[in-house]
Structure 1
């Protein structure tokens, strides 16, 4: 698994066009998991239950993680809708993204080449409007320390942009913090050096 940050959608997009009297409406949304991708697809299907087709594809993780891809032609000829949509998504380099293309049939057949162009092209146009943000890959660390070491620990947390997830103040301070994976080694080294190895650091399973 890559620890590098990757792009995800910042907000949903809707793009509509008419091709030979058929209306194609493309929806893009941020879906961090396969379950959320499927839920979004069902929402659009319900919204457009009178449409001839609701074809879709999703990339539920990083854009290069094929274990989290899915697609459907939803009744269009095989390979003319789901795959072209997926090809646009994976080519965009954006992760956690689902596209649903709704088609209201206008009575004129487009042929397989026309369908590939219509479905792929709609997603391509929608992607041009998509705003993205960077998602950092993070992990959790458990810290156990004496109270006098709190100011030092908090200062190092700020330096590494770590956030406190949970804190337990009993005999010692026990913190659970979230930190970018790429920063873990440097964070541990800094904290151990500056505290004289008095802060215990564990990675929860």
Structure 2
């Protein structure tokens, strides 16, 4: 698994546009897997069951990735909705993202070019003010130390941006901590130094 850091959507974001009397609502959210994306798409279909179309696209993985993608024109002419939406998502610099554009037809046909512009533009508009956060590849590391080292361990965890998920105190103190995968070598090295090489193997989850 890579240790890539990249922006991902923070929460659900929606914008609305009216183009030649048709309403276009673009809803964007984070999707960490194709299953997450499909669950979100189904929720939009439930929210807007009377829409003329609920077209969608998603990119699951780092920005610009092409291995786990999906799109649908949902009844619009082939290539006029899902493809332009996906193109925008693949070039926006944001990962793990799904977008659904809900259209309520207003009586005026937009034509093929107009539809491509409307659907791609709806996604672009939503991305302008999309709140994001940094995605960090994390790992859960479990290790044991003697009671004499607890204070030093707590200080070490602060410097490594580690969060204590669970801790128990028996013969020794056992810590389960969540930290960026990139900090794992430093954790190992510091604990080995602290215990003078007596550290039991760190378990990862």
Please state which band the TM-score falls in when normalised by the shorter chain.
over 0.9
Please give the TM-score of this superposition, normalised by the length of structure 2: 0.92
Question: Equivalents in 2 of 1:201, 1:150: separation in Å?
Answer: 17
Aligned residue for 1:106? 106
Aligned residue for 1:26? 26
Give the paired residue count.
Answer: 205
Question: Equivalents in 1 of 2:109, 2:181: separation in Å?
Answer: 51
Question: Equivalents in 2 of 1:47, 1:131: separation in Å?
Answer: 22
| Residues 188 and 201 in structure 1, CA contact (< 8 A), matched pair in contact too | no
* Deviations 1:122-164 (CA, angstroms, capped at 9, x unpaired): 1001100112111211112121121111111111111111111
Aligned residue for 2:133? 133
Please give the TM-score of this superposition, normalised by the length of structure 1: 0.92
Question: Equivalents in 2 of 1:122, 1:25: separation in Å?
Answer: 7
Q: How does 1:42-53 map to 2 (within 5 A)?
A: 42-53=42-53
Aligned residue for 1:168? 168
Aligned residue for 1:83? 83
Q: How far does residue 16 in structure 1 lie from its aligned partner after superposition?
A: 1.1
Secondary structure at the aligned position of 2:204 is classed as coil
Q: How far does residue 56 in structure 1 lie from its aligned partner after superposition?
A: 0.5
Question: Equivalents in 2 of 1:48, 1:135: separation in Å?
Answer: 30
Aligned residue for 1:57? 57
Q: How far does residue 53 in structure 1 lie from its aligned partner after superposition?
A: 0.5
Aligned residue for 1:73? 73
Aligned residue for 1:177? 177
Q: Which runs of 5+ in 2 are unaligned?
A: none
* RMSD across aligned positions (CA): 1.7
Q: How far does residue 71 in structure 1 lie from its aligned partner after superposition?
A: 1.1
